[in-house]
Each structure stands twice: as C-alpha cells, then as structure tokens.
Structure 1
Amino acid sequence: MSDVAETKAWLMGLTDGFRQACILGAAAELGIFDAVTSRGDTAAELAQRTETDLRALTILLDALAAIQVLRKEGDRYRVTDAVRACLSDRSPVTAAPMVRHRMNVMRAWVQLAWTVKSGVPAPKPCGMRGPAADLADFILAMETASRDIADGLVADLQPLEFGTLLDVGGGPGTWTFAFLRALPRARAVYFDLPHAAAQAQRLAQQNGLYDRIQFVTGDFYVDPLPSGADFAWVSAIAHQNSREQNRAMFRKVFEALTPGGRIAIRDVVLEPSRIAPFEGALFAVNMLANTPKGNTYTLEEYQEDLEAAGFREPVLRLRSEAMNSVIIAHRP
C-alpha cells in the first residue's frame, strides 16, 4: 500500500468514530437499557414501551446488536448484566449520564468550524429530554468520571492535614466524600449552585457523610466563598475559565482560606508545547466548542495566576495524562 493510500485510510478512520457513539448515545437518551426486560423483548414491545417509531427503533436496535451492545436472539433483544449495570439509570454504577452528556457535547463539536470562524461557541439544540435533563446529566456525568478514581487520587495526595475542606464548585460532591473518608476527623463546606447541591445532598446521605458537610449554595463567579477553611479543592473548574477568570477565582479562594491554608487544583496541565498530553490538547477543543472563554493551561500559566492571586510556591504535586494532575499552593 502506498503512503498516500495509508494516509487516506488513517484520515478516513479519524472521521468514523461518530457512528457508534451516536448509536449508543441515542439508545441512552431513549432509555433503551431500562426498557429491555430480563427475558428480552421484540422491537414492537420496545417501541410501545419507549414511545418510538417501530421502523426507526428496529434499525437502531439492530445497530446496537451489530456493535455488540445488545444481543439479538431471533426477534428478541437482550441486555447483558454488565451492560445493564453500566447503562441503566437504575444502576448505582451507571455511566448513562456521561453517555448522554457526551452526546450534548458532540452537538457543539459538529459545529467546530463555525466556532473557529466566529470565535464563540455555535448555537446548539438541547437533547431530546430537554435542557433541565441535560444539566442533571452534566452533574451526574462528573460523578461518573470521578467515582472510581477519587479515593485513589486522594490517597496519592497524602499526607494531608486539614480541619475544614472547602470544595469550590463541588458538583455531585464526589471529591468532598473522598476527602472526608480519608480524614475521618475533618469536616467540609460544599459550595455550588442549587441544582448541583441538591444532587450532592442526596449522594451525601447515601454515603453516610451528610452530617459532616455544610452545604452552601451560590455562584463562585458572583458570590464570595464561605470563609474559614484551611484546605480548598478546585476540581475540573479552571479549564472552563479564561486566565483572567481563574485569577479572580483564585483570589476568592485566597480570601476565604485561613492564613497558612492551601489550595489544590485538579485539572489538565499542558506541557509548554501545548500539544501534550494528548487528552489535554483535545480537551482544549472541547472548551472552545462548549464554553465562551475556556481552555487548558500549562503549569507555568497556573503558577503565574496563583501567584498573582497571592498564593506562594505553587507546585505540581501529581502529574496525569488526563484531568488528574494536581497543583498545590499555600496562602502565607
């Protein structure tokens, strides 16, 4: 095969991943994995149960079987226990909100040329379940992303000593829970918007940690942060912001911390070239497509912005290829 033919095959492969992603995403949006019963169901039964068009659903179900997400036996479709655990909304370990969130993200990515031309995210439709469901899926997708790694990453940060954690933009509360499990005598102040706090309170009760957490609602872009903590956790927020916005947020954290307190930032940390790590470079595009001013940043940029906010000696405590690098700095 010639170099041109190999290059063409490689380039065409780069454009092909959307098909299986869209098949899986549509099934998650339609609730297919909760609709299929343990005995298996026909397309007609599932079309009635999900209120979908029979012809269209049959094509989707056959495609799901072709990519081996469903099993087809005669005219009946089945879900394996493992797939149901991963994609049923009734499962405690479900990843369905993340699948639907990625579909929402994809609606912006398909307009990337428009965004690059204009410099602002392109208009996009909401998912078929509506904007409120998209927002709920975003919060629960963050829980999906962090659930399996939080305890291990917190262990990697040890030894840590603090009395009160401030979780800025705490989302579903996953990181608050991990820190409280690691430090049994510590308490936490959770801060986020009301819709996120409602999810976090529900999960805190499930985790048996509700009584150790003070829930404060507000907008960190507008409101001052609760004061008195000696350790602040800023997880997966900085990439949503411009550097100017980050400096303002870091300054709010600085003012909220007690003297000697520390800030820890979990996020992508780019190499100076900005093309590595691979996931970090691609995530910058995600921020371009989905936020007005977001980006991914280098260690040097984080250090400059933390020091501008008043922090001292920012260091890279953990290095990760994805979004699990951690930078720590202290307030004098």
Structure 2
Amino acid sequence: MTNPPADDFREIMGLIQSFRPAKILMVATDLLMFDHLEEFRTADEIAAEVKADSRAVGIILNGLAALQLVDKEGERFRNGRLVSRYLVRGKDEYRGAIVRHMHHTWWGWADLEETVRRGHADMARSERWVDRVNADEDWVREFIWGMHAIARDLAPRVAAMVDLSGVKSLLDLGGGPATYAIAFAQANPAIQATVFDLPQPITIARENIRRNGLAKRVNTMAGNFLKDDIGSGYDFIWISQILHSHTEEQCRLIIDKAVKALNPGGQMVIQDFFLNDDRVSPLEAAMFSVHMLAVTPGGRAYTHREVAAMMESAGLNPPEHKITSPQTSILIGRKK
C-alpha cells in the first residue's frame, strides 16, 4: 500500500507545471490572438482570424480564461485588463515584443540538459548577439523592441538616480533601442548622446530617437564593441544589460575599452541583473544566469563585486552599488 502524496510534494509539482501558463501566453501572443479579442468573440471567429484550428484555439482560450487573462461569457471571449493594455499591437503600452522574444529562446530551455552536459548552449543556435550582423530582421526587431518594453518604465527612474550634472558627452554602449540614451537626454538638455550598437539595432534606435524628437541630440554609431572603435572623449558611459551575455574575458575587454574612452573624472555606470555574493539572490538574477547558460555560449549573471573589481582594475575609483529595481542594480565608478 502506498502513502498518498505529501502536501509539500505539491510544491515540487507546482514548479514542474509552471511552464504551462507561460507557454499558453507565449503561443497566444505569437498567434496575435489578443489583437482580435478587444470585443467578445467566439473561438471559431478567433480561429478564422489567426488561421488556426478552431478546436485548438478554443482550448487555448479556455486556458487563458482559467488564468484570468481573458474574460469569458457563454462561449465568447474578450481580453482581460492586462493583455488588453500590454499585448494588443498598436497600443501605446504594447509589450508583446518581449513575450515573443522570450518564446524565441524556448529552444534553449528545451535543450538545457544537453547544454549542462557539454557546458554551453548549442553554438549553431545560441544568442551570439555580436555575431548576428546578418541576423533575421524579424528576430532582431522582436529582441530590440523587447528590450525597450523592459526598459521604458525603468529608464526615467534610473536617469533620476545618477549624477548627470556637468555631463555633455554621453555614450550608451550596446544601447539597442536607445531607451536609456533618450531618458538621459530628456533629463539633461545639455547632453549630446551617442548610441553604439550593431547595424540592425541601430536602425531601430534611430526610429525610437525620431519618435522622441531627439534626432539633433542623440546620435548613433554602428559597430561591434568587441572589435571596433567606440569613440572617445565621453563624460559618461552607460552599459546596461550587456555583460551577462558575455564571458568574463569579454566583460573585461568591454570595461577596459570603455574606461579608455572616458574623460578623466568621467563616470561609467553599469546596470545588470547582478547577483549578491551568495550567487542565489536576487532570485531573478539567479534564474537569469540559468537563462544565459541556456541561450549563450558563455554568458552568466555576475556578482556586483566581480564587476566592481573589473572596473577598479581598469582604472576607476571603487564603484558605488545602487539598487534600481527588485531585479536590477547599477555600479557607478569614476575615472581617476
């Protein structure tokens, strides 16, 4: 006779089953279901809109209703508040790009066991971002606009936390959609900013800069920051969410190159999902480190002390560590 499952085993089962809501939401987003659910519609109607099987769409819609992401009346469905606000294309607060990007990385988690065995993600599929000069345009747009979806709320708060007084020349290194460069320029009218990134992200940065009316004050420079010149004479260099996708050797190279580009007395500020010394907190940083294992050749989350040591070794004064959100923090160092 076997004993019934212990209540605490349900915690393990909860973790094991937690992929299901995520996958349902990502599939619905990829199929653009929410675009067609601003009014009550039947599963048959939505299936016709997204060119999918009616029975399968009905099951997905019921799953979304069970998750309280869509409302259900009889056999009709309509967007709930959150998906209506964030996952309908064309709305000001649309964030579907980051959902789609996360879905694009699903392969890495499916392959995680093999990655652990060999020590790195599949080199043919991994997110070797600086090598993606000719990457699929749709993939790039989802990734870069996804980064904007994450950063757009945080950037103005970070701009208020850093010292931009006296800053005239600013570099946003690996700046993607230029979200932070725009926030810094808006916070200090004296700033002339440059966004440095690969050619395809730079195209999106220019779109975002124009949307914000800052084309005269925020410039762009296309290149590979591991190989190419990044300019010089900067008062302030911002490096956000770059280090985690690179090896320790590459991180040192990036930091050394940026310090050389700083004016004496200039500031370097690095933001990332920094781990504490225990390497298990914050939780999001620990989980993100596994994500980097799953999808990059050699990336991981670094502790803030590790990166602070790299900054000091490159010629900065001992950096100050500040929390910018429950998941992220910054290191602020000034060139000697």
So what's the TM-score if we normalise by structure 2?
A: 0.90
Alignment pair present for 1:262 and 2:267: yes
Alignment pair present for 1:151 and 2:156: yes
Q: Distance in 2 between matches of 1:100 and 1:237?
A: 20
Tell me by how many angstroms 1:25 deviates.
0.5
Q: Tell me the alpha carbon deviations over residues 191-227 of structure 1, each in whole angstroms, 9 at most, x when there is no partner.
A: 1112111111111112122211111111112211022
Q: Distance in 2 between matches of 1:319 and 1:76?
A: 44
Q: How does 1:110-129 map to 2 (within 5 A)?
A: 110-122=110-122
Match of 2:67 in 1: 67
In structure 1, runs of 5+ residues without a counterpart are none
Identity, in percent, stands at 35
Tell me by how many angstroms 1:89 deviates.
1.8
Q: Tell me the alpha carbon deviations over residues 21-53 of structure 1, each in whole angstroms, 9 at most, x when there is no partner.
A: 1111000000111123x4422222222221112
Q: Distance in 1 between matches of 2:17 and 2:10?
A: 11
SS of the equivalent of 1:230 reads strand
In structure 2, runs of 5+ residues without a counterpart are 128-134
Q: Distance in 1 between matches of 2:126 and 2:118?
A: 18
Q: Distance in 1 between matches of 2:136 and 2:47?
A: 24
Match of 1:304 in 2: 309
Alignment pair present for 1:34 and 2:39: no
Tell me by how many angstroms 1:155 deviates.
0.7
Aligned residues of 2:101 and 2:142 also touching (Cα < 8 A): yes
Using a 3 Å threshold, how does the CA distance of structure 1 residues 291 and 189 change in structure 2: closer, same or farther? same
Of residues 321, 324, 330 in structure 2, which corresponds to 1:326? 330
Match of 2:26 in 1: 25
Give the partner amino acid of 1:325. S
Alignment pair present for 1:285 and 2:311: no
Give the partner amino acid of 1:74. G
Q: How does 1:1-332 map to 2 (within 5 A)?
A: 5-36=6-37, 38-80=38-80, 82-122=82-122, 131-158=136-163, 160-309=165-314, 311-319=315-323, 322-332=326-336
Aligned residues of 1:277 and 1:321 also touching (Cα < 8 A): no
| C-alpha RMSD of matched pairs (Å) | 2.3
Using a 3 Å threshold, how does the CA distance of structure 1 residues 133 and 105 change in structure 2: closer, same or farther? same
Q: Distance in 2 between matches of 1:15 and 1:131?
A: 33
Give the partner amino acid of 2:18. G
Using a 3 Å threshold, how does the CA distance of structure 1 residues 69 and 300 change in structure 2: closer, same or farther? closer
Tell me by how many angstroms 1:131 deviates.
4.7
So what's the TM-score if we normalise by structure 1?
A: 0.91
Tell me by how many angstroms 1:261 deviates.
1.8
Moved more, 102-111 or 173-182: 102-111
Aligned residues of 1:169 and 1:220 also touching (Cα < 8 A): yes
